[in-house]
Structure 1
Amino acid sequence: MNAVEIEEAVSALVEQPFDAEEFPYLFLSAFGNKDTTIKRLRATKGSTNASDIPGAVLQRNNIHIATCPPGEVTRTLTALRDSPATSKAKAKFILATDGETFEAEELDTGETVACAYADFPNHFGAFLPLAGITTVKQIRESSFDIRATSKLNRLYVELLKDNPDWGTADRRHDMNHFMARLIFCFFAEDTDIFQVGYSFTNTVDTMTERDSSNTHEVIGELFRAMNTPTAERKKAGIARYADRFPYVNGGLFSGSPDVPRFSKIARSYLIHIGALDWTKINPDIFGSMIQAVADDEERGALGMHYTSVPNILKVLNPLFLDDLRARLNEAGDNARMLLNLRKRMARIRVFDPACGSGNFLVIAYKEMRAIEAEINSRRGEADRPSEIPLTNFRGIELRDFPAEIARLALIIAEFQCDVLYRGQKLALAEFLPLNAENWITCGNALRLDWLSICPPTGTGVKHSADDLFHSPLDQPQIDFENEGGETYICGNPPYKGSKWQNEKQKIELANAWVKFPHLAKITDYVSGWIARYLDYAEKVPDAVAAFVTTNSICQGQQASEIWPVAFARGIEIRFAHTPFHWSNLASHNAGVTVIIIGLGCKSTKSKQLFDDSSLVRDCNTIGPYLVPNRDDVVQKATDPIGRQSIMLFGNMPRDGGHLFLSTDEADDLRRNPQTSAYVKRFVGAEELIHGKQRYCLWINDEDAVTAKKSAFIADRLALVAKNRLQSQAGSTRDFAKRPYRFVQIGGVAKKNAIFVAGISSENREYLPCDYLPSEYIASNKCFALYDAPLWNMALVASRLHWVWIGTVCVRMRNDFSYSNTLGWNTFPVPTLTDKMKADLTRCAEDILLAREAHFPATIAELYDPEKMPADLREAHDRNDEVLERIYIGRRFRNDTERLEKLFDLYTKMTAGTGSKNKKKVGAV
């Protein structure tokens, strides 16, 4: 279940008569527990209910729930807290209720919920961990945004049932615009933007028939009033019940006056939505969540579209907010310095060319308003109107509904800031009518000229967008007051690896990289925003940008291709955040591993590198791989640059599957002395990591004639030959004459080989590898070091090598994609003495022995970060310490220091080898 589905179930639970005996089970069902789970908790024999309190229900590792007589809730909650069973079963929550009062506590944090029973759905977000959904602070503090999203979604779906034409491409914009109008009205009636007593919801409830037949007419008349100036209403014939509502303007109620028809259910939904407390709306959360309402493909993840404020600030703080706060601290109470800072802020433009529902813009606006409010306070001008115009917060969004919500979210944020810093009275006096300027453009950011959306002052460039509330004013007219201002570009553009882009996206990316077409063929879709910034910076050289991107643009081939182009065009990486997980609200949504790249024209300013612990590293330059003070790019090498053994690619059959055997077939052949030698264990990444058993026929040239004496083998080889003859590849057809062997053979061990998985999860702390005997054959999903000294495994299994591979090799989504030419052959290994090799050999042996102690556990099980056995972890720690002392005489402090040393050594070891192994950035 997603968060919205849970909210619906919780709301339905509260609407039922309270049943003390059934409540615990209904509550657990609302949070996604299956019927079989509930049945086991109810059972009289073999029950999973671990409670030691009569009538209570305790679900292990989850929650202890008890109902009680009236007035006994607090005492009952104390009993649950003191219960030995609560601690023994590792319950995360305790909950007590008598049907009138509701109290609960999260035991790890001590956070509590205490409210009327009927109001506990307003706090349901606190319990989302019960459904496996990790929550963030903003969601725990207020569940309003999910509740509102849930109910708006139900209304949206219900309206489309009775108005199917409104769901078509021709009318979808009208439907989305209608929803934006409703959201404004709900917010306006609860915040007194509509005068006290003039409730939109109550007016609809009072003036419409219970059969809903005229609901659309009443709402349409209210919207018409809000789009008509007061002086013109008599002439326009506005109904008396609508005449009481203010003139809103701003284009929000202009355009099509149509309203979809309402069924009784839809009317009921609207009344319920209006009954919510819309003063609790949080525009930096709500916008992201509700954008999925209008998207059929995204509705399944409704309520999960939330980007945390801390993650957004990882972009905005180093981009410009930290500097503004520093200037504020520097100014102290100096009135002139404070005034200059306020004037500077009024001219700052923030531009998000992939703005979605406006998260980045809303957070930037709210943070700047907080700084401005402090300036005004220090100057004794607390009531002063804000000089930061919303029109300075520009955006481009491909879809019209998020674009509308982005503007609406900014409008709501402005009002909330005015109330917070200037008071309700002044905020209301100046809020309406809205202005008609349009600063969020609906369009494709890789096709539009960014200069037309956010131009440098005085260029005269214009852009007209007619998909939003209202056509914009003349663009230079909007910009005039901001002459000489700063421009900051930011955002979280969409990701798509080159292999997963559709044709339209490929064309868009080619359009962005038109000056460097080869980059469009190999880079992620997100790189198009970097390309657009490079063009923009040529005309606006002072503009600075910061994007959340996939970490792949600073790895492998993309790093070695994108950044030489960017650096040659005079752009540098001003700051960066090393890889971290950027995920949505649901814990089961793994999200993606991302980086943050801050870009600007070359300067002498110190560069900043942030890591996952938010520490800052100052440096002179940041290189393509986000390594301080290293500007080299790593090129593939045909041989190891150190003295480690040669690693070869695995073996590729191209056989149509006919050289492979089931377990029973393999057993039959191995029991026969004439055929047993032809059966080998076949190991790819899946087999290596998860211990899967797979078998193949492996026949050498000299054994081909003898092997064919087996009727089974002969039949299989005939099928292989037939399959290869049908191949379109000439090289494969040529091997139809030799059906007994693999088409591509990397190598075979005489005694033993070190196998390395080609694709593996980045979540493991070490790369999956193993030491296997000669009866194991490496697939093309593996690499192998054949008959290599065991100390080589100590290198592969080290944190140093994990960090190197994670930096210089490419990624497959969130997985490492290992490469012998780019990862192993370039791995800088210093000259090793015999003593060092012996020490590393012993470390590798200890790792293997520690694994053996946990047989038959697989590598996947052994290297689960949360379940890794202590003795295995200790063996790896010893291996890392021995190896790292070889490099610098001590353990490295962090991965950044590891990379610095590795790149320094790489530079020294490849000096004089030419472009074959090494290339400096700066030349295209």
Structure 2
Amino acid sequence: MVADLAAAREFAAQWAGKGYEKGECQKFWTLLLRDVLGYERMDSVLFEHRVAGGGFIDVWIRDASVMVEQKSLRVDLDAPEMRQGVLKTPLSQVWDYAEDLPLAEQPRFLVTCNFGEFRVYDRTRGGRSVLESAPTFAFSLAELGEHPEYLGFITDPLNSRLEKEKEVSSQAGELVGRIYSELLDQYLEPDAPETRHALNVLCVRLVFCLYCEDAGLFPKDAFYRYLQGVAPADVRPRLKLLFRALDTPVEDRDPYDTALREFPYVNGGLFAGDFEIPNFSPELLGLLLDEVSRAVDWSQISPTIFGGIFESTLNPETRRAGGMHYTDPANIHKVIDPLFLDDLKAELQAIDDAEGLTPRQRTNRYRAFHERLCSLRFLEALRAEWIQIGRTYALAA
């Protein structure tokens, strides 16, 4: 993905002195991304995406972790406008949209643009008050025509959401691998099949708790706080109490056990049954709390990538073969997108874009869509797809 200088000059000349926010935003950014920057993931670019807090994101380049607030030509990018009953600058608008998203979806780069001027804000460089005083980078359309690399962060693979997910998921997988090995050493019969099964169950339960405390399913840092300050010898019984509570509806629990009140009931059987839990050494407890729970933001981890790595961690044969492997999400989407996901996305987008609906009508449509999602079964469709693929290859051979 290399920027095209000739295309950049042509683009700058084409758009010089013109640009209307509502009518030309999508065309402007589509041409810029596709023809000038050579961006290859146009299917991940969303225009006029509705956010929960009200309003619409003008351009959201999800896989590049970029969000754009687009204004018409010559609109002052420092001037506040009335939005949702509040005066907001373009930066305030796009920042609010970013914070309306789940933490894992929030973009790193914010861009404000009025067709003639671009301002780029890197949220890793400081908070809102810091960046409001000066953008990370600013340039004109004419300058972009000579330096398309100014927007190179959009196509830089190191800034892509997928690369960041790969990095943090791999790091988390390595940490869970360390926990697995150290837990195995604590069991009385580490080579017994029952021990391996109990250890796998324990690791799955621990990872679930780690994810929940960062993803908002538990209160923030709930698992960390539950074990913080606990003596290593007491971790084993504390985990048994926690797992039993997670498998019990809140109204059926001991009302005097206040330490477990903030943990919700988890249905589905993940915490059903008692499995052997070994003692924890001080070093193992420190690894779990300080390096895995506190230091890792589990909400940033890709379930697709981490799932494969985690499976490798729990599979002794794969571990001995030296492998933490996963199926690249791009290859997964080659199968599932045309099979069912594209249609489902289009159906959801139609609800988002439907005009003239009352809030209640829109909510009812979302609810009906959600209920339909819960009823879908894909195994037979996938099986049929793979049979057809097999037949195609057989005929070709």
1:177 and 1:302 map into 2 onto residues whose CA distance is 22
1:374 equivalenced with 2:349 (yes/no) = yes
> For the residues of structure 1 that align with 2:242 and 2:165, how far apart are their CA atoms?
34
Q: Tell whether 2:307 aligns with 1:287.
A: yes
Q: 1:144 to 1:248 in 2, by over 3 A?
A: same
3-state DSSP of counterpart to 1:259: coil
1:228 equivalent in structure 2 = 248
Kept after mapping to 2: 8 A contact 1:187/1:279: yes
Distance 2:177 2:347 in 1: 37
- Which stretch has the larger CA shift, 144-153 or 239-248? 239-248
Looking at structure 1, the residues matched to 181 and 216 of structure 2 have their Cα atoms a distance apart, in angstroms, of 29
For the residue of structure 1 that corresponds to 2:316, the secondary structure is coil
Matching residue of 1:308: 328
Change beyond 3 A, Cα 1:229–1:291: same
CA deviation after TM superposition for structure 1 residue 255, in Å: 1.0
- Report the 3-state secondary structure (helix = DSSP H, G, I; strand = E; otherwise coil) of the residue aligned with 2:244: helix
Which letter maps to 1:259? I
- Alignment-mate amino acid for residue 138 of structure 1: L
Higher-Rg member (1/2): 1
1:259-300, Cα deviation, whole Å (9 max, x unpaired): 222111211111121111011021111111110111122125
Q: Show the 5 A alignment for 1:588-607.
A: 597=389
Aligned match for 1:249, one of 259, 263, 267: 267
1:343-382 pair list within 5 angstroms:
368=344, 370-379=345-354, 380=357
Q: 1:141 to 1:239 in 2, by over 3 A?
A: closer
Whole-angstrom distance in 2 between the partners of 1:264 and 1:391: 46
Q: 1:267 aligns with which of 268, 271, 285?
A: 285
Q: After superposition, what is the alpha-carbon deviation per residue over 1:897-923, rounded to whole angstroms, capped at 9, x for unaligned?
A: xxxxxxxxxxxxxxxxxxxxxxxxxxx
Q: Among residues 363, 387, 393, which one is paired with 2:371 in the alignment?
A: 387
CA displacement at 1:316 relative to structure 2: 2.6
How far apart are the structure 1 equivalents of 2:301 and 2:165?
12
CA distance, structure 2, for counterparts of residue 390 and residue 273 of structure 1 = 32
Q: Report what 1:546 is aligned to.
A: 386
Within-5 A mapping of 1:508-907: 544-546=384-386, 573=388, 597=389, 624-626=394-396, 807=397
> How far off its partner does 1:317 sit?
3.8
Q: Which gives a bigger RCO, structure 1 or 2 (Cα 8 Å, sep 6+)?
A: 2
1:202 to 225, 229, 245: 225
Shift of 1:214: 0.9
Between the aligned partners of 1:623 and 1:285, the Cα distance in structure 2 is 28
Q: Which amino acid aligns with 1:149?
A: G
Go from structure 1 to structure 2 and tell me whether the alpha carbon gap of 1:229 and 1:201 turns closer, same or farther (over 3 Å shift): same
> Over the residues paired in the alignment, what is the CA RMSD in angstroms?
3.4
Point out where structure 1 has 5 or more consecutive residues left out of the alignment. Answer: 1-106, 115-124, 128-135, 325-367, 396-486, 491-543, 548-572, 574-596, 600-621, 627-806, 808-924
Cα distance, 1:238 vs structure 2: 6.5
Matched with 1:180 is: 204
How far did residue 153 of structure 1 move?
A: 0.6
The one-letter code sitting in structure 2 at the alignment partner of 1:374 is Q
2:317 maps to what in 1? 297
Aligned-residue identity in percent: 29
Question: Alignment partner of 1:172: what SS?
Answer: helix
The alpha-carbon deviation at position 217 of structure 1 amounts to 1.1
- Structure 2 counterpart of 1:250, one-letter code: G
| Letter paired with 1:291 | E
Counterpart of 1:160 in structure 2 is 184
The question of 1:148 aligning with 2:178 is answered no
1:156: how far off? 0.5
* Paired amino acid for 1:378: D
Distance 1:205 1:488, change over 3 A: same
CA pair 623-111 structure 1, distance change in 2 beyond 3 A? closer
Give how far 1:394 is off.
6.2
Q: Distance in 1 between matches of 2:161 and 2:395?
A: 33
- For the structure 1 residues 111 and 302, does the alpha-carbon distance in structure 2 shift closer, same or farther, using more than 3 Å as the test? farther
Say whether the 8 Å CA contact 1:216–1:260 is kept in structure 2.
Answer: yes
Offset of residue 393 of structure 1: 4.6
What whole-Å deviation, never above 9, does each CA across 1:688-730 have from its counterpart, x for those lacking one? xxxxxxxxxxxxxxxxxxxxxxxxxxxxxxxxxxxxxxxxxxx
Amino acid at match of 2:211: F
- CA change 1:391–1:321 in 2 (3 A) is closer
- Residue 219 of structure 2 aligns to a residue whose secondary structure is coil
**The structure with more helix, counted as a fraction of residues:** 2
DSSP-derived class of the 2:178 partner: helix
Secondary structure class of the residue paired with 1:213:
helix
In the alignment, the residues of structure 2 paired with residue 277 and residue 319 of structure 1 have an alpha-carbon distance, to the nearest angstrom, of 32
- The question of whether the paired residues in 2 share the 8 Å contact of 1:126 and 1:141 is answered with no
Looking at structure 2, the residues matched to 316 and 154 of structure 1 have their Cα atoms a distance apart, in angstroms, of 33
Aligned with 1:489 (options 372, 382, 388): 382
CA distance in 2, matches of 1:296, 1:304: 11
Is 1:225–1:242's contact at 8 Å kept on the other side of the alignment?
yes
Contact 1:185 1:200 in 2 (8 A): yes
* Deviation of 1:177 (Å): 1.4
Q: What is the alpha-carbon distance in structure 2 between the residues aligned to residue 164 and residue 388 of structure 1?
A: 48
Instruction: Report the Cα distance in structure 1 between the residues aligned to 2:253 and 2:330, rounded to whole angstroms.
Output: 47
Contact map agreement 1:220 1:258 (CA 8 A) in 2:
no
Q: Over residues 812-835 of structure 1, what are the superposed CA-to-partner deviations in whole Å (9 max), with x where a residue is unaligned?
A: xxxxxxxxxxxxxxxxxxxxxxxx
Change (3 A) 1:159 1:321: closer
Per-residue CA distance 1:6-42 (angstroms, 9 max, x = gap): xxxxxxxxxxxxxxxxxxxxxxxxxxxxxxxxxxxxx
- Separation in 2 of the partners of 1:244 and 1:283? 25
Kept after mapping to 2: 8 A contact 1:223/1:257: no
For the 8 Å contact 2:236–2:279, the answer to whether it is kept is: yes
C-alpha separation between the residues in 2 aligned to 1:273 and 1:390?
32
Cα offsets for 1:432-474 (capped at 9, x unmatched): xxxxxxxxxxxxxxxxxxxxxxxxxxxxxxxxxxxxxxxxxxx
Amino acid at match of 2:212: A
Checking the alignment, whether the CA contact within 8 Å between 1:160 and 1:166 is kept in structure 2 is yes
